[in-house]
Amino acid sequence: MKTFKFPARHGYAVEISPFIPTRLACATSQYYGIAGCGTLLVLEQTETGISLVKSFDWNDGLFDVTWSESNEHILLTGGGDGSLQVWDTANPLPGPLQVLKEHTQEVYSVDWSQTREENLVVSGSWDRTAKVWDLNRGGQSLCTLQGHEGVIYSTVWSPHIPGCFASASGDGTLRVWDVKTGRCRLAIPAHKAEILSCDWCKYDQNVIVTGAVDCSLCVWDLRNVRQPLSRLLGHSYAIRRVKFSPFNQTVLASCSYDFTVRLWDYSRTEQPLLETLEHHSEFVCGLDFNLQIPNQVVDCSWDETVKIYTPLCLAAPLPSAQ
């Protein structure tokens, strides 16, 4: 387990670079994100630990971060002041390259699309809207998607369907949007509680997972959403973020207000919980799988640390499902 400590900042989101497997970024906020500034940390994983490459300050809390899919130096964050900031690690100046200000409340999620021809970004905000931006085309959003009746906590592009993303909201619904028509294609009342996170399966374009305040994760097949494929119980407080493994179709990781990170295999009907990691002493808000180093996981917490590790359950070959 490698640890990086960043005093007086609380981790909200962490993401590994799609270009450099040892590079990661962490969005943090002062005073638990309730007030004060934010800092974007760019970190490098070394043989022995984690070192700071660069940090950028912003005058409001930073809640999410996403790496550019087209330029290894570019990152984008979402902030408490409703703005998105574009950062360039190759830029010697301390400020952002660009600031996109349209949301009227906290931006809680940002995600860079993997469609390489376009530099599409989706942002989700507490103003209940999601906005899609094309960073090749200036500072105005391409479209604003309305429909959620609660704040939006999470917006994630489909890795399979162009122009399609999912959003998770405080209104208890998961929605799937089509950017071309600007419409909501599906509204799933996924939980009778606020949904804080969602993620797409990397192997099946119809499978999506939601994590909610009701402490449960639900895996959905979008072709039949009458009931979840699987409901995973184990967390004792709200689930803050959930991610599907890039290496195994049915494995996912979740982090929670219960200070734990848990790994699951939803195909196992008997014992889907593979492992519980209790290495943090505060809410765990950020989580990511390394796309290039199999089974490596990174997380960040309000306890002022980022941790990189390979969960034991993934290090060993998975026991076959029941």
Q: Does residue 209 bind another protein (CB under 8 A)?
A: no
| Count of residues of this chain found to bind another protein when the rule CB under 8 A is applied | 35
Q: Which member of 97, 142, 161, 186 binds another protein (CB under 8 A)?
A: 186
Shortest Å, Cβ 268 to another protein: 24
Which parts of 51-110 interact with another protein (CB under 8 A)? 80, 105-106
Which parts of 227-256 interact with another protein (CB under 8 A)? 227, 237-238, 240
Q: Does residue 196 bind another protein (CB under 8 A)?
A: yes
Q: Does residue 127 bind another protein (CB under 8 A)?
A: no
Whole-angstrom distance, CA of residue 125 vs CA of residue 53 = 29
Q: Does residue 215 bind another protein (CB under 8 A)?
A: yes
Q: Does residue 188 bind another protein (CB under 8 A)?
A: yes
- Of 41-49, 112-120, 186-194, 197-205, which segment contacts another protein by CB under 8 A? 186-194
Q: Does residue 180 bind another protein (CB under 8 A)?
A: no
- Of 116-124, 201-209, 221-229, 265-273, which segment contacts another protein by CB under 8 A? 221-229
- Of 40-48, 85-93, 144-152, 159-167, which segment contacts another protein by CB under 8 A? 144-152
Q: Does residue 225 bind another protein (CB under 8 A)?
A: yes
Q: Which member of 42, 130, 151, 207 binds another protein (CB under 8 A)?
A: 151
The structure tokens 């800092």 sit at 39
Q: Does residue 34 bind another protein (CB under 8 A)?
A: yes
Provide the token pair at 286.
């950020």
Interface with another protein by CB under 8 A: which residues? 32-35, 80, 105-106, 126, 149-151, 170-173, 183-184, 186-189, 192-194, 196, 213-215, 225-227, 237-238, 240, 257
